[in-house]
Amino acid sequence: MEHLLTALRAMAEPTRLRLVVLCARGELTVSELTQILGQSQPRVSRHLKLLCEAGLLERFREGSWVFYRLRQSSPIEALPRQLVSACSETDPTIALDLQRLGTIKRQRADVASAYFRENAAQWHRIRSLYVDEGEVEAALVDIIAAADPRDLLDIGTGTGRMLEILAPRVERALGIDQSREMLAVARVNLDRAGLENGLVRLGDMYRLALLDSSFDAVVIHQVLHYADRPAAVIAEAARVLRPSGILILVDFAPHSLEFLRYEHAHHRLGFADGEVAEWCTAAGLDLAPPRRLPGDPLTVVIWTAQRRAGPRVVEEPEKRPVAVLEGEVR
């Protein structure tokens, strides 16, 4: 009962209630919340700290920025949502906050669109070399439907496309990417799609800041060819998989298009089934027969592998440094 009383006391203040209403509608930075509320950053930060301590909000760092959103998977998860629903959007204060929130989301969309326009040409050129992406996506949806996972991780999420098509089929979907610009695009896309269970985070595919055995499915879609240590990426994906969880790897079969290496930073020109099998075996995964989607001139291959149900034994494990928290909030 005490945690409920703590949560109720935390929300029983006008500014904090407004913050919960806003954070229920997406991930927002301290500076964005300050802009919406028209209050000083120290004041807003104090309120946010209280809400986090009460278990109502969660915070995460992305470089020099800190984002806040309504906490998920908590014992009191339903309480803040019920109170948010009771806050009428016709209330003058709430209405003004939501109007300002709309302005901020439009600004985000403009920035994301500009970034996409600048890079779209090279992406479209690569996509023209292989089978229609819709066919690849349909195959992935079928795999996820058969596996029926609860928690899904997308490594190298980019614009968040995998989350868009797969998040509706799971309870929780998390996308990791090392590009803040890409994450900005992904957030806009997830917001447009109304996918509240889809989140994105800044992260390193070689050192995921995630617990062991925390996901039922991991997707690595058209990312591995950028890796200089693909075996390490697969080993890290296997680490966060639960027993009997599934890894879905989408990439190219071996090819000779050298311009992809020099013009688009592809570190590897496709992968042979044998080396993928070797990496999966070393990571404690059992590889299934791959599916091939021939294109001209590139062939897309979908490899699926399942983590063994017994104790995980990984050959030659790499030491992962302990994560160190960065400086204070921006």
- Give residue 288's domain range: 129-307
Q: Please tell me whether residues 64 and 188 are part of one structural domain.
A: no
Residue 72's CATH number: 1.10.10.10
Cα–Cα distances in angstroms (integers) from residue 153 to residues 137, 144, 172, 209, 218, in the given order = 16, 12, 9, 12, 5
Q: Please tell me whether residues 148 and 290 are part of one structural domain.
A: yes
> Residues 110-127: what's their mean pLDDT?
66
Neighbours of 77 (CB within 10 A): 13
Q: Is residue 239 part of a domain?
A: yes
Q: Is residue 329 part of a domain?
A: no
Total domains, the chain: 2
Residue 279's CATH number: 3.40.50.150
User: Taking the C-alpha atoms of 156, 302, 310 and 204 in order, what is their torsion angle to the nearest 10 degrees?
Assistant: -10
What are the pLDDT digits (tens) for 159-168?
899 999 999 9
Contacts 24+ apart (CB under 8 A), 203-206: 203/176, 203/177, 203/178, 204/178, 205/155, 205/156, 205/176, 205/178, 205/233, 205/236, 206/232, 206/233, 206/236
> Residues 104-110: what's their mean pLDDT?
82
What are the pLDDT digits (tens) for 181-228?
888 889 999 999 999 899 999 999 999 999 999 999 999 999 999 888
In angstroms, the CA 135 to CA 153 distance is 21
Q: Please tell me whether residues 97 and 170 are part of one structural domain.
A: no
What are the pLDDT digits (tens) for 128-160?
678 888 999 999 999 999 999 999 999 999 889
Q: Please tell me whether residues 283 and 137 are part of one structural domain.
A: yes
Q: Is residue 18 part of a domain?
A: yes
* Confidence grade of residue 95 (pLDDT, cut at 50, 70, 90): very high
pLDDT for the residue 8: 86
Q: Please tell me whether residues 28 and 94 are part of one structural domain.
A: yes
Q: Structure pTM?
A: 0.74
Q: Specify the DSSP element, H or E, that contains 101.
A: helix 92-127
Q: Please tell me whether residues 226 and 147 are part of one structural domain.
A: yes
Q: Please tell me whether residues 97 and 206 are part of one structural domain.
A: no
